[in-house]
Structure 1
């Protein structure tokens, strides 16, 4: 008997080095699930919710720069996982989504309902590409095309609509086998000579590096040293350039100290490597200014003709461009500026001994002291993350996973995927209480797949970012309180270890114990609700007594 479409698809995934397929399993792809079960090189990761599965696939793609595969069955599944697809699209993450579409012949499902309508169009605005399979012979070629498309140019998610009755159909073995071709690397549309001349002529050149410069780390460090270039990391891309380097100029994130922008403020040349220069990175599109020369480097970079200061773009992968730039540029001997030195001062955790409650800085300080240097840190959206962004020093490559689109609920599923992809590295998820309540059930997935992640919950009983904006704008709070949750007991109920921290003195012993035990765990830290950012106190904005923690 010949191979089925499902078996052929699994063979293509294997040859493309796909190692995990994420899903909440459904009856739409029973034959595919069975084919995956028989393939030793691919693991099917069965998540507890489609949003969790989508964040897992996105995190693996971001970490490995190779697409993970996500399965979507029917309307509810597709709608639930859309948040992860949109995250992949904004963060330029390779991903392939296999989405159920109506059968080639209308049939009734076992539940007595007709299959869902074609939802492929729903993803057109949040995916790099959407494709549709119409017959069994077409799936292998389109799947191979989707895998390649997700990686080349500007990476992103590709959604492939597949009729639910195709998987079990035979595939004509006489047809040529579809192959996944290597993604195109782009060409040097402008000679590095031109950029070298701009660098030579500039008085204050700076570099901004994004996620797609991660693979060029060694060349980037060499260029920064040889050409005396201050280097900024784009929003939540703090592992692109080591933060302990003398040329490190800072992280272009939220709520950063004003002086951290000094080098960017006075720059006459901005070299953007592997970044689209999003809203946060540009500080609400304040930079680059019209007076600054801007050069953007990267394949598939989207350049608006209205972008201020743009001189030209180089359509090339970052690493070969930097290699050529090193060959033609003249070395510079400018010393690291005082602004660079100030950045390292900003990153030093302040003294919090006067705080009666656990300060968020205490958590980051303890983790930074005890966790290995190459720890992978995943984080959620929320004000609590500012403490990690400012006080965690990212020195190892591929060590930060965070969504630039402010998606909540990312950290826990991302940590699970990171541990499955990098089992020898420590993985820590930093997440607020609200984000934990959204996708924290994926701790059970970590338990089931023996992925010993550490989930650190900053539980302050409030949506900190929203509370800050409400207090600043209206002087009162609405809908931002979160009742106290016993996350430690909840974790134990899911099969993980659970700890509760009410005192800063408990932090280091508990973290040290959790690191040694090597099992999935949740550390529930009851942090001070008044401390909403490194620089802002909620009580100061409200002009009243300090907020009280939620009632137990």
Structure 2
């Protein structure tokens, strides 16, 4: 009997190919390529590793380029709550000490709940915290540039030395300024007998995987001049 064919024959395969292409990270401004960092973790972390995050544009890279391969491997807020990832990661590691737990936090996110590193240290929750530092509240800045390019305010941050702050809590801490430095930094964090923090210093221009701040600003200014 001849196989049944129909107009959906190639749809699933095409959609899957498009999905795989979409999850390959494009190059973005700056020396730290967040997409490459996430893709590396995607390949290196075990399937049961737990990924935690708060809210902010930095999560676009995590959700787009990491491939979750098991149930209960993602802890993320559904309400857009900044600061969620750090305490969630501590709780996850205490509940599942045998599993790798990696927490992503923007610099603004970490400033809200980063003090929970003290809890992690006190109870031996050896989470790896990855602080994505672009020096601003990225999501709010994106909306300001897109809608009100001449009225940007209140989104720049004056940050502490996150690596030094981690060490003050009794954790390890180091700074990554180039993508090539990340793998070794992560290996050291994983080998540490304590919580560990890796600060990624990212370019503010890389506001999403597919947009830049200057590009959004230029589009908004063109609209203001009547040139959509």
TM-score per shorter chain, which class? 0.7 to 0.9
3-state DSSP of counterpart to 1:336: helix
Does residue 1:508 correspond to 2:183, yes or no? yes
Does residue 1:428 correspond to 2:102, yes or no? yes
Does residue 1:363 correspond to 2:37, yes or no? yes
Counterpart CA distance in 2 for 1:483 and 1:543 is: 26
Matched-pair contact (CA < 8 Å) for 2:53–2:75:
yes
Q: Which of 192, 195, 200 lines up with 1:525 in the alignment? A: 200
Quote the RMSD (CA, aligned, Å): 2.0
Matched-pair contact (CA < 8 Å) for 2:26–2:209:
no
Counterpart CA distance in 2 for 1:369 and 1:499 is: 22
Matched-pair contact (CA < 8 Å) for 1:502–1:526:
yes
Name the counterpart of 2:133.
Answer: 459
Name the counterpart of 1:478.
Answer: 153
- Larger C-alpha radius of gyration, 1 or 2? 1
Q: How many residues align?
A: 212
Counterpart CA distance in 2 for 1:501 and 1:434 is: 18
List alignment gaps of at least 5 residues for structure 2. 1-6, 220-228
Counterpart CA distance in 2 for 1:478 and 1:335 is: 46
Q: Map 1:254-273 to 2 at 5 A.
A: none
Matched-pair contact (CA < 8 Å) for 1:499–1:510:
yes
Name the counterpart of 1:373.
Answer: 47
Q: How far off its partner does 1:498 sit?
A: 0.7
Counterpart CA distance in 2 for 1:519 and 1:367 is: 20
Counterpart CA distance in 1 for 2:33 and 2:205 is: 9
Q: Which of 124, 136, 141 lines up with 1:450 in the alignment? A: 124
Q: How far off its partner does 1:351 sit?
A: 4.4
1:200-233 Cα deviation digits (max 9, x unpaired): xxx98xxxxxxxxxxxxxxxxxxxxxxxxxxxxx
Matched-pair contact (CA < 8 Å) for 2:27–2:33:
no
Matched-pair contact (CA < 8 Å) for 1:359–1:528:
no
Counterpart CA distance in 2 for 1:471 and 1:384 is: 17
> Normalising to structure 1: TM-score of the pair?
0.37
3-state DSSP of counterpart to 1:543: helix
Matched-pair contact (CA < 8 Å) for 1:387–1:533:
yes
Name the counterpart of 1:397.
Answer: 71
Could you say which structure has the greater relative contact order, defined with CA pairs below 8 angstroms and 6 or more residues apart?
Answer: 2
Counterpart CA distance in 1 for 2:49 and 2:35 is: 18
Q: How far off its partner does 1:356 sit?
A: 4.1
Matched-pair contact (CA < 8 Å) for 2:170–2:194:
no
Matched-pair contact (CA < 8 Å) for 2:106–2:131:
yes
List alignment gaps of at least 5 residues for structure 1. 1-202, 205-332, 545-552
Higher fraction of helix: 2
Q: Map 1:240-319 to 2 at 5 A.
A: none
Name the counterpart of 2:90.
Answer: 416
1:317-354 Cα deviation digits (max 9, x unpaired): xxxxxxxxxxxxxxxx98724122211111122345xx
> Normalising to structure 2: TM-score of the pair?
0.87
